[in-house]
Amino acid sequence: MLFVDKNKSRTLKLHKQLLIFFLSITVFLVIIFTKTPVSIRLDVSRAATPMVLPLSTIGRTIVDAQGKVVLLRGVNWFGMETDTHAPHGLWKRDYKEMLAQIKNLGYNVIRLPYSVAALRSLDVSGIDFGIGSNQELEGKTPLEVMDLVIQEAERQGLLILLDSHRLNDLQIPELWYGDGFTEADWIDTWTMLAIRYKNQTNVIGADLKNEPYGKASWGDNNISTDWRLAAERAGNAILNVNPNWLIVVEGVEKNVPGQKLPQHWHGGNLEGVKRYPVCLSRSNKLVYSPHEYGPGVYNQPYFSASNFPKNLIDRWQIGFNYIASQNIAPILIGEFGGREVDLNSKEGIWQNELVKYIQKNNLSFTYWSWNPNSSDTGGILLDDWQSVDLPKQQLLSQLLSSVQVQPPDQPSNPPASPTPTPSVSPCTTPSISPTPTPSVSPSTTNIAQLKVTTDINSNWETGFCVSFKITNQGNTKVNNWQLAFYMNQTKINNFWNADFKQQGAIQYVVAPLDWGKTIEPNQVRDTGFCANKLGSDYQPQQISAVSI
């Protein structure tokens, strides 16, 4: 005979009813708090395959440490690049609560803008230290505020992509230097961050410079304006101290030899990659990142074309997506956004078309912006810094169900491009040639046809990086060349675009890779290295280049 304790049964029933009641209240509060349909939240909160960091690239894909394909789907949370020196909205919200909401809406990465000036400052503002966890930020420098935001993001399961958005706190410069800052200031800031966050695994990379425009060029080998070459210098300096980071390189606006499209957004023109790729010491760390906006930001002529919106697909393919479709490198759309998401306004149509394009092509993105105080785009949050812009979030939620790690088609080797593209200039990871390179005496006088420009573009306590620009000043092409120099109290640890060989105690000979042997008249070949300092006498001396 089964004995039933009726009092215990009634107690369990009461506990069950109370549990259901409190769960119902919790769901109700979540809906009211985020003003987001539960269907969206449930859709994006499915169990995830663990992502194993760090990230790298295979062909067109970003992959984790186990070769699983990763789609970065995130938001821009700005403020550290402004005069507050802190992410915006903390005058209304607890920063931990803000990060939790980003995670719960289904995003997996935050692009975090900063200015060089902010990270050199001691002061923050725009924070109510009386709100919850914000008291932890009181008395902290901007860099220490960044530390705490990044550490909490890690606890919440969010990745961070750092973005050098401005040099000063006021405006976005055309180039990577200016506004009272030098190239060395820019690179030194990056190397400082790369070292500081080397063991902070959720910091996945560096978006080297926000929106080069105006004078910025790509592929013209003008050392003062060619953004591609500057990206190589900064990217290699970062990888020298932190080889785990992704190096994210935006486009320019114009000044690209042979570009097909007459208009591009600032940072949106990546047409030059095909002929003039960025060459890093670690080629599997490179990601290209266009920015794309609608007529709510600026009414470009193509929004009024008779074939709008069908003309957008060709624009995006020519401007940036050929890089992914030809298996050159991954694409991360670092910024896109706008106030209108309907199917009637031009901006709404544009934004819907781009979301479909991102979904179809499996592209990564960080949406501009999380903040509501972006004047021409608005944000995912409304002006109260708590409520969610439901139509906007519903549009983006089409992309968020696929933020989890997915198995790659070919996990071990880069997939072969279905259509060979021989016109794409190769970026070969430097390797030591098995055949000895003939020695060239450093005392040899340069042939007048070749000129070498040397630049120590990054210099810190224990190491430095050097770039060499070899220019053909003659009227005929050079079919092969060599560079030689002396260097003492130094140990080279990586190099790019050529083979570096030590001959004797302090003599070095540099030979180009096969694709870089020929130098046309007025063309420049770029190579360089990073090294550890073994003493104070470390700089290269008696540098010479010869045609052979």
Percent of residues, the chain, with pLDDT higher than 70 = 82
235 and 346 inside one domain: yes
Task: Describe the strand order of the beta sheet including 450-459 as a list of residue ranges.
Answer: 450-459, 463-472, 524-533, 490-496
20 has a pLDDT exceeding 80? no
Examine residue 176 and state whether it is found in any structural domain, yes or no: yes
DSSP letters of 516-539?
A: GS-B-TT-EEEEEEEEEESSS--S
What is the set of active-site residues?
211, 335
What's the length of the chain? 548
Measure the CA–CA gap between 382 and 106, rounded to whole angstroms. Answer: 18
Domain ends where: 400, 426, 461? 400
Rg (C-alpha) for the chain, rounded Å, is: 26
Q: Are residues 366 and 224 in the same domain?
A: yes
pLDDT tens, residue by residue, 286-302: 999 999 999 999 999 99
| One domain, residues 93 and 212 | yes
Residues 188-204: tens digit of each pLDDT: 999 999 999 999 999 99
Domain count, the chain: 2
Q: Among 400, 416, 439, identify where a domain stops.
A: 400
**Gap between the Cα atoms of 173 and 153, Å rounded:** 29
Q: Is residue 29 part of a domain?
A: no
Residue 211's pLDDT is 98
Short-list 281, 162, 270, CA closest to 216: 270
Reported as a single tens digit per residue, the pLDDT across 490-526 is 989 877 778 899 987 888 999 998 778 889 898 888 8
Model pLDDT for residues 271-288, shown as the tens digit of each residue: 999 999 999 999 999 999
**4 lies in some domain:** no
pLDDT single digits (tens) 24-44: 444 344 433 443 332 222 233
- Pairing verdict, β 56-58 and 61-63: antiparallel
| Residues 193 and 60 occupy one common structural domain | yes
**Spatial contact of 543 and 451, defined as CB atoms under 8 Å apart:** no
Question: What pLDDT is attached to residue 321?
Answer: 98
> In 3-state terms, what secondary structure has residue 242?
coil
Q: How far is CA 444 from CA 449, 483, 493, 529, in A?
A: 14, 10, 26, 22
Q: What is the CATH number of the domain that holds 527?
A: 2.60.40.290
- Strands (E) in 403-515, as ranges, are 450-459, 463-472, 481-486, 490-496, 498-503, 507-512
Domain that holds residue 525: 450-547
* Same domain as 540, residue 471: yes
The verdict on 214 and 288 lying in the same domain is yes
Does 426 reside within a domain?
Answer: no
pLDDT at site 360 = 97
**Domain end point (choices 340, 375, 400):** 400
At residue 306, does pLDDT exceed 60? yes
**Is residue 195 within a helix (H) or strand (E), and if so which, with residue range?**
helix 183-196
- Residue 548 confidence (pLDDT): 86
Question: Are 373 and 259 found together in one domain?
Answer: yes
* Same domain as 478, residue 386: no
Is 423 inside any structural domain?
A: no
Has residue 350 got a pLDDT over 70? yes
Same domain? 196 vs 71: yes
Whether residue 428 is contained in a domain is answered as no
Residue 402's identity, in one-letter code, is S
Mean pLDDT over residues 177-194, rounded?
Answer: 96
Mean pLDDT confidence for 48-64: 90
pLDDT over threshold 60, residue 233: yes
Alpha-carbon span 148 to 130, nearest angstrom: 17
pLDDT confidence band for 401 (50 / 70 / 90): low
Residues 233 and 103 in one domain: yes
Give the CATH number, domain containing residue 146: 3.20.20.80
* 529 occurs within a structural domain: yes
